[in-house]
Each structure stands twice: as structure tokens, then as C-alpha cells.
Amino acid sequence: MSDRNNFVLLFVTAPDGECAEALARKLLDERLVACVNIVPGLRSLYWWEGEVQASDEVLMLLKARRSDIDAVTECVCGLHPYEVPEVVAADISGGLRAYLDWLGAETERG
């Protein structure tokens, strides 16, 4: 049984679905995440180089172990086309026990 406090939800934006899927597949192949939801149709407004910018993006929701935040961040930064990609983690403080057990099982590595 997995401890619900061991997991995080990471938010990552990508310029398009193709980039997001490539990132997701790499993270899944490495067992760094159990699941990635790719949500199209995001419009982001943000400060960059002293000006407000606007971009169409996709949002990625990654479910991972807290202990893998650094590894997920490193993997994303190594493959992402942005100079400074968004990688933000939020604690998962609860949820369906069976889902959290599944999340733990799918991110277990040798």
C-alpha cells in the first residue's frame, strides 16, 4: 500500500501536442511518472525578458513520486525546447487509495 504523501502532481507546459507527447513517452519509458494528461488549448500570458508575452501551449499533468521530482525536472529540461520550461510540483495529499497504489506500482524501478 502506498503512502499518499509520497506523490506529487507536476505541471509542465509545452509548445504543442507533439512535443508534449515526446516528453510524456520519455518520462513513462523511464518510469519517472505513472501517467501524463495532455490538455490542449491553453493560452499562457507571462513575463519574459521584460515584456508580457502570450503563447498557445498545451498543459501536461504528470503524476510522480515526490522522490523523483529532480529526475523528472532534469529529464524535462534535457528534452524541452524552452530555455526555461515550467516544471512545478504540488503535493498530492489524498485520493483514491487504489489509484495511489497503482501510481506507486507503476513508478517502481529496479
Residues 38-60 pLDDT 10s: 999 999 999 999 999 999 999 99
Residues 6+ apart with CB under 8 A from 98: none
- CA 41, distance to chain mean position in Å, is 17
Residue 59: exposed, middle, or buried by beta-carbon count in 10 A (0-12, 13-18, 19+)? Answer: middle
Question: What pLDDT is stored for residue 3 in this prediction?
Answer: 66
Confidence of residue 110 (pLDDT cuts 50, 70, 90): confident
Question: What pLDDT is stored for residue 44 in this prediction?
Answer: 97
Question: What pLDDT is stored for residue 72 in this prediction?
Answer: 98
* DSSP assignment of the chain: ---GGGEEEEEEEESSHHHHHHHHHHHHHTTS-SEEEEEEEEEEEEEETTEEEEEEEEEEEEEEEGGGHHHHHHHHHHH-SSSS---EEEE-----HHHHHHHHHHT---
Question: What pLDDT is stored for residue 71 in this prediction?
Answer: 98
pLDDT digits (tens, 9 = 90+) for 55-99: 999 999 999 999 999 999 999 999 999 999 999 999 999 999 999
Does domain 1-46+64-86 match CATH 2.40.160.100? no
Confidence of residue 12 (pLDDT cuts 50, 70, 90): very high
